[in-house]
Amino acid sequence: MNNASSSMAPENARNRCKRFRKRILEISQQVQALHIGSAYSCTEIVDAIYFGMMKHDAKGESPDTFLMSKGHGCMIQYVILEELGVLTRQDMDLYCKAGGRLGCHPDYGNPGIAASTGALGHGLSMATGMAYAEKSRKGIGTVYCVLSDGELQEGSTWEATLMASSLKINNLIAFVDNNDFQSLGRTSVTHPSFYPLVDKYTAFGWECVEVAGHDSVAIFNAVQNRKGDKPFMVVCKTTKGKGVSYMENIPIWHYRSPSPQEYQQALVEIEGA
Amino acid sequence: MRNTFSETLYECAKANADIFIVVADISPAGSMAKFQSEYPERFINVGVAEQVMIGMAAGLALKGCRPFAYTIATFSLYRPFEMVRNDLGYQNLPVTVVGMGAGVIYSTLGGTHHTQEDIAIAGAIPNMQILAPCDPLECIEATKFCAIESKGPMYLRIGKAGEPRFTENALEPFVFGKIRYLRRGSDVCILSYGVIMKLAVEIADHLQAAGRSVSLVSCHTLKPLDRAGIEKALHTHKHVIVIEEHAPQGGLAPQAKQIAWDSKANCRLDTFTLKDEFIHNYGSYEDLLASHGISARLILDKVGAR
């Protein structure tokens, strides 16, 4: 994290993401249900933001902000915050349990959580306001916001999309976890007009690129190479449940915990990846 | 009241660089234009997009600013309701949602522009506070409170234009969370708030002319409601009258009844509210109120002063 180029060396990023997937898998055995497929879908995106993009001073403080607009994917954020020492082992042990403070969606007020999300279509507006506040105060903070692709069906997301570019908020960097899956099927089937996304965002005045969403280096480089005069959108082509064969692209793994047998298989696959 | 709000906010913004205003395509009347030209970076017009108005205000507040979200009441509260609930209420952020022209003041614009249930809706959200000043002077106090002191989310219900002054000689100062006696008597107590205070004043004048000793109270803070103050009013007057420009559910009237029941009050209690019906007729503001049973004549007939 102190040195982005070292942190984002392919092997380092791969090892971290493997570690995070295993930790999430471990937690899946403590609770009845969690959004495991959603977290695995955006593992590399959130990892690249925390370990490659966010600036930190000597004390570890960051002027940057991470906002998980797709709140249901927050397990990847939690395990990263645990690794960074922001959340504790006890926090994670009490995840979704009485006496704990972490639930299935991020809650503002908990360490490392910049905003409460869970209802979709809220994050990009708040991120736009945060980035605007930073800019208007001549701050150096960048706001990173991760959205789901289903969230792009919310009209509010497009209200924010229009405003961010109209206000020339160039310290806002957003990522769409484009796994093409929603509760009721593939987005490309239910909403064929959803695509192409890059053209839409470009037409709305953003700088926008598409990358392989499980390639940490590609995500990092896309952001490094942006022109920087507009809000920036990275369309990350991802696989829901990435890393575990029986979860990949299977909607029930949006919100389900593996059985002990499934856990063992998943562990083997993640280890061997 | 709209201009008073704008002027007060402009003055507060001069003194505090954390004050932002996010508007949704509402004309920058009065001092709002000054705010816009002098502090363009703190004046954000999102256009006809109320969800991002509230969301951006939340984002600004999460970064330490004190934003106001401002447009016509129906659009500032109803359209972006989930943003008001989650982004402001759930996160307990110091954002003031201004509901301008609330009630039925837009009498010729039809039901889409009427705000009959805003107190109930805003009041149902945990953490949300509600202020509804009755005249321009009280609007100054309320706006200052929102800009300077308020710790959490606020719904500020204000009128549109031309409201007379009623609080110039008020017996008590404006104190957030406390009812405010404008007049003090011993027979009848009229509880009201917001723009319809004009009618409450008229009723009070009639009752006084008929020989009653009348208290007139501005219940400007609808949440947290001054339950102790209302309880005292119920127990120190023979007759209490509530007049409000709001649906029968969730406003001042049902809460006054609840307090009366809980505190075993034995006064007579008459409440006058809008009906639980949309309004499909047109005419003046007074015409619309009258169609819902609210006019000086209708009220005086019912309270037995004619």
Q: Over the stretch A101-160, which tens digit does the pLDDT of each residue have?
A: 999 999 999 999 999 999 999 999 999 999 999 999 999 999 999 999 999 999 999 999
User: DSSP H helical segments within chain B, as ranges?
Assistant: 2-15, 31-38, 50-62, 73, 81-82, 118-123, 136-144, 197-209, 227-236, 252-262, 285-291, 296-303
Please tell me the distance in Å from B206's CA to the nearest CA on chain A.
Answer: 50
Touching check for B280 and chain A: CB below 8 Å? no
Structural domain includes residue B58: yes
The per-residue pLDDT for B198 is: 97
Whether the CB of B149 is below 8 Å from some CB of chain A: the reply is: no
Answer yes or no: do B74 and B197 share one domain.
no
- Find the DSSP H helices in A137-249: 155-166, 187-190, 197-203, 216-224
Question: Does a structural domain hold residue B137?
Answer: yes
Side-chain-side CA neighbours of residue B122 (13 Å): 34
Residues of B in contact with A118 (CB under 8 A): 86
- Main-chain dihedrals φ then ψ at residue B119, nearest 5 degrees: -65, -40
The amino acid occupying position A65 is T
Interface residue A119 vs chain B (CB under 8 A): yes
- B9 and B146 in a single domain? The answer is yes
The one-character DSSP state at B115 is B
Q: Does B90 touch chain A (CB under 8 A)?
A: yes
* pLDDT of A3: 73
Q: Do A129 and B82 touch (CB under 8 A)?
A: no
Q: For residue range B89-140, what is the model confidence (pLDDT) as tens digits?
A: 999 999 999 999 999 999 999 999 999 999 999 999 999 999 999 999 999 9
Judge whether B86 is closer than 8 Å to chain A, CB to CB: yes
How many degrees, rounded to 5, is the angle at CA A96 between CA B82 and CA A123?
A: 30
Q: Is B306 exposed, middle or buried (0-12, 13-18, 19+ CB in 10 A)?
A: exposed
- CATH number for the domain that contains residue B57: 3.40.50.970
Residue A223 in contact with residue A234, Cβ under 8 Å? yes
Q: Structural domain of residue B152, as residue ranges?
A: 2-158
Q: Which residue of A has its CA nearest to B86?
A: A116
**Degrees, nearest 5: CA angle A126-A131-A136:** 125
Same domain for B134 and B50: yes
3-class DSSP assignment, residue A70: coil
Residue B305 has a pLDDT of: 63
Distance CA A115, CA B222 (A): 28
The answer to whether B59 contacts A132, with C-beta atoms less than 8 Å apart, is yes
- Look at B59 and A159 and tell me if their CB atoms are within 8 Å: no
Biggest CA pair distance of chain A: 54
- For residues B297 and B228, membership in a common domain is answered with yes
* CATH ID of A4-272, from 3.40.605.10, 3.40.50.970, 2.40.50.320, 3.40.462.20: 3.40.50.970
* pLDDT tens for each residue of B127-147: 999 999 999 999 999 999 999
| Per-residue model confidence as pLDDT tens digits over B137-190 | 999 999 999 999 999 999 999 998 888 999 999 999 999 999 999 999 999 999
For chain A, which residues score pLDDT lower than 50? 1-2
Q: What is the pLDDT, as a whole number, of residue A129?
A: 98
Among all chains, which residue has been given the structure tokens 């994050």?
A: A123
Contact B291/B104 with Cβ under 8 angstroms? no
Nearest CA in chain B to A155: B51
Contact A169, A231 (CB under 8 A): yes
Whether A125 and B60 lie within 8 Å, measured CB to CB: no
Amino acid at B306: R
Three-class DSSP category at A210: strand
Of all residues in chain A, the one with the smallest CA distance to B48 is A159
Min distance A128 CA to chain B CA atoms (Å): 6
Please indicate, yes or no, if residue B169 is contained in any of the structural domains.
Answer: no
Q: Are B150 and B214 members of one domain?
A: no
The long-range contacts involving B107-113, CB below 8 angstroms and separated by at least 24 positions, are B107/B282, B107/B283, B107/B284, B107/B285, B107/B287, B107/B288, B108/B282, B108/B283, B110/B280, B110/B282, B111/B278, B111/B279, B111/B280, B112/B74, B113/B72, B113/B74
Does one domain contain both B239 and B299? yes
Among the partner-chain residues B42, B55, B91, the one whose CB lies closest to the CB of A116 is B91
| b/e sequence A197-212, b meaning 16+ C-beta within 10 Å | bbebbbebbbbbbbbe
Rounded to a whole number, what is the distance in Å from the CA of B83 to chain A's nearest CA?
7
Backbone angles phi, psi at B147, to 5 degrees: -75, -30
Rg (CA), chain B: 19
Nearest-by-Cβ selection for B57 from A121, A129, A131: A129
Together in a domain, B188 and B133: no
What pLDDT does B38 receive?
Answer: 96
CB atoms closer than 10 angstroms to residue A150: 22
Residues B78 and B203 in one domain: no
Report chain B residues whose CB lies below 8 A from the CB of A129.
22, 55-63, 67
Are residues B185 and B151 part of one domain? no
pLDDT of res. A59: 84
Token reading at B80: 């972006």
Cβ contact, residue pair B83, A125, below 8 Å: yes
Contacts of A57 (CB under 8 A, 6+ apart): A63
The token pair that represents B168 in the structure block: 């110039």
B121 and B239 part of one domain? no
Using an 8 Å CB-CB cutoff, list chain B residues near A112: none
Cis peptide before A111 (omega within 30 of 0): no
- Residues in A closer than 8 angstroms to B41, CB to CB, are 136
B40 close to A (CB below 8 A): no
**What pLDDT score was predicted for residue A190?**
93
B203: CB partners within 8 A, 6+ apart: B190, B241, B243, B296, B299, B300, B303
ipTM: 0.96
Q: Residue B52 is nearest to which of A131, A136, A156, comparing CB atoms?
A: A156
Cα(B81)–Cα(B55) distance, integer angstroms: 11
Average pLDDT over residues B59-86: 97
Given B92, B127, B158, the domain boundary residue is B158
Q: Say what the pTM is.
A: 0.96
- Among B51, B75, B92, most A C-beta atoms within 10 A, so best to mutate, is B51
pLDDT digits (tens, 9 = 90+) for B21-43: 999 999 887 789 999 999 999 99
- For chain A, give every domain's residue range: 4-272
The two counts, helices (H) then strands (E), for chain B are: 12, 12
Q: How many structural domains is chain B composed of?
A: 2
Q: Assess whether B249 and B108 both reside in one domain.
A: no
Instruction: Indicate whether B75 and B220 sit together in one domain.
Output: no
Say yes or no: A132 contacts chain B, CB-CB below 8 A. Answer: yes
Average pLDDT, chain B: 96
